[in-house]
Amino acid sequence: MEFAEPPAKASLCCEDTPEGSPPTYAMYEALKESCQNNASYFQPDDSENGQRLYQGFMTLIDHIDTVWPLVDHVRK
């Protein structure tokens, strides 16, 4: 299996952009937005699996909010 683009280099994740905010912030925001969209999708699902998925995405959002400042502190 071949990919169109090579994977991102780890060093690119921690470099500051000219605007001053590292691209990792955009990744955290994209991850949170994706989790929020998925949670919203599964929230009205009354099945056990739907509710488990909803709770899982909500838990991921909480963990992202917890880990984000810690990673930023270590990065600096």
For the segment 3-49, what is each residue's pLDDT rounded down to a tens digit? 455 544 444 444 555 555 556 688 889 999 999 999 999 999 999 99
Indicate the domain borders of the chain. 22-75
Residues 61, 32: contact at Cβ < 8 Å? yes
SS3 66: helix
Q: pLDDT at position 7, please? A: 46
Q: Residue 48: in which H helix or E strand, if any?
A: helix 48-75
Q: What is the DSSP letter of 16?
A: P
Q: Which among 13, 30, 31 has a CA at the least distance from the CA of 22?
A: 13
Instruction: Please tell me the pTM assigned to this model.
Output: 0.65
